[in-house]
Amino acid sequence: MDTRLTRLLGCRYPVIQTAMGWVADARLVAATGNAGGFGFLAGAVMTPEEIESSIAEIQSMSDAPFGVNFHMYVPYAERIVDICIANGVRAVSYSRSPSPKTVDKLKTAGIICIPTVGAKRHAEKAVEMGADALVIQGGEGGGHTGSVATTILLPQVRASVDVPIAAAGGFRDGNGLVAALAMGADGIAMGTRFLLTEESPVPSVTKDVYLATPPEKIVVSTKLDGLPQRMINNNYLGRLMAASQVGLLVRALKNGLAFRKLTGESLISVLGSAWRMYRSGDLSLGQTMMAANAPMMIQEAMVRGQPDNGILPSGQVAGVIDDLPSVSTLMERIMSEANTRARQIASLSGEGETK
């Protein structure tokens, strides 16, 4: 399927696997590329050394192009950029734009910049700052999310920018892909659907919780770090929602120290990152202090297999997913469904009829 997105990224199909923390590892990214999609490595929860090692692992398993996600505020962000350039990574993704200097450095090296945005104004700003393409995530999407539904956000952004767009939030099959294309997207981006595949590293006990959860139990809360996040409403989230603000800040301090130990960074470096986040104006002081909560609480479920003792980020689409296919099977199914649906739609206007 040929779209502006496939031509830009060099993949066969206009389907992006998003950089879910603790989930989008080398095996999942390689499987996505081999199946014709475009995968992003979850570098935001990795050290530079882990990113470099994972890039090498991906390249040993696949010749397909892929990308790396990173967080611009970490003290080693420039090291990650250099690693991506040195290893010929095709694209980088991020939720908040790096400095213009960093964007120029990436683009000069031929690396495509694809930020994720959840509002029209953020899309416009990202393009002004040099984004080559966008992932626009509607409110149905998992993890940090906006308040506008994908069906509203997509045509709104499409009318305001002229770069390739991958629509995210609510997609799982070929019918959704065709719907996104009809609304002006150049492809789709999926997280939860790839989380629920054979190659996903998420423990089976955690995957089972996702498969058993109905859409109405996948809610949005600000309790984790002060920002809206969509996740499964489990017992752990219930305890967080009942906790006091002081209790949440104490928890954030503990998680911040745990994250510092995980990355091997000094306390001064971590505090410097927090200060840069706050100074950017995107987050309040309270939100900045709680930023470490998300990765550490998610790790309990996604890595340690303790879904009752951690957070389960999820798109609402998990409520209508009932299987764990291989990535190759999933991609084949998506494209078969998309081609069938596209022919059916074309036949409505007579374009699919034999002349």
Supply the CATH number for residue 72's domain: 3.20.20.70
* pLDDT per position as a tens digit, 267-282: 555 555 554 554 555 6
CB atoms within 10 A of CB 330: 27
How confident is the model at residue 226, as a pLDDT?
73
232 in the same domain as 105:
no
3-state SS assignment for residue 213: coil
What is the rounded average pLDDT of the residues 83-93? Answer: 98
Question: How confident is the model over 110-134, as a mean pLDDT?
Answer: 95
For residues 132-148, give the mean pLDDT. 94
- pLDDT band for position 316 (cuts 50, 70, 90): very high
Could you tell me if 154 and 18 lie in one domain?
Answer: yes
Q: Is residue 221 part of a domain?
A: yes
Same structural domain, 163 and 40: yes
Query: CA separation (Å) from 75 to 147, 211, 277, 284, 293?
Result: 30, 37, 11, 20, 18
- Residue range 196-212: mean pLDDT, rounded: 97
| Residues 290 and 329 both lie in one domain | no
Beta bridge partners of 39: 17
CA–centroid distance for 87 within its chain = 22
Q: Look at residue 242 in the predicted model and tell me its pLDDT.
A: 81
> What's this model's pTM, rounded to 2 decimal places?
0.89
Of 329, 312, 316, the residue nearest 197 (C-alpha): 329
Task: List the domain range (segments joined by +) for residue 22.
Answer: 4-201+325-348
Residues 250 and 186 grouped into a single domain: no
pLDDT-wise least confident of 112-121, 191-200, 301-310: 301-310
Could you tell me if 336 and 297 lie in one domain? Answer: no
State pLDDT tens for residues 286-304. 555 556 667 778 888 888 9
**Rounded distance, CA 353 to CA 355, Å?**
6
> Whole-number mean pLDDT of the chain?
89
Of 71-80, 192-201, 244-253, where does mean pLDDT reach its minimum? Answer: 244-253
**234 found inside a domain:** yes
CA 354 to chain centre: 42
**Is the domain of 337 the same as that of 191?**
yes
* Domain assignment present for 353: no
With 80 as the cut, is the pLDDT of residue 354 above it? no
pLDDT exceeds cutoff 90 at 2: yes
d(CA 108, CA 101): 10
pLDDT band at 240 (very low <50, low <70, confident <90, very high): confident
Quick one: which of 75, 64, 111 has its CA closest to 92?
111
Distance, CA of 344 to CA of 327 (rounded, Å): 26
**From 5-19, 182-196, 253-267, 289-303, the region with the lowest mean pLDDT:** 253-267
Same domain (yes/no): 294, 332: no
The total number of structural domains that make up the chain = 2
Can you tell me the distance from the alpha carbon of 6 to that of 65, in angstroms, rounded to the nearest whole number?
Answer: 11
| Dihedral angle of Cα 287, 217, 45, 17, to the nearest 10 degrees | -130
Summarised one tens digit per residue, pLDDT across range 22-48 is 999 999 999 999 999 999 999 998 999
Sign of CA dihedral 62, 66, 69, 70: positive
Same domain, 31 and 171: yes
Is the same domain home to 197 and 286?
no
| pLDDT reading at 100 higher than 60 | yes
> What average pLDDT does the segment 219-223 reach?
89
Give the bridge partners for 189, in sequence order: 16, 168
Position 168: which residue type? A
In terms of phi and psi (left: phi > 0; alpha: psi -120 to 50; beta: otherwise), the region of 281 is left
Q: 355 lies in a domain? A: no
Q: Which two tokens stand for residue 170?
A: 């609510």
Do the Cβ atoms of 95 and 144 come closer than 8 Å? yes
My answer on whether 133 and 209 are in the same domain is no
Task: Report pLDDT for 94.
Answer: 87
pLDDT at 269: 57
Q: Are residues 59 and 152 in the same domain?
A: yes
Assess if residue 354 is contained within a domain.
no
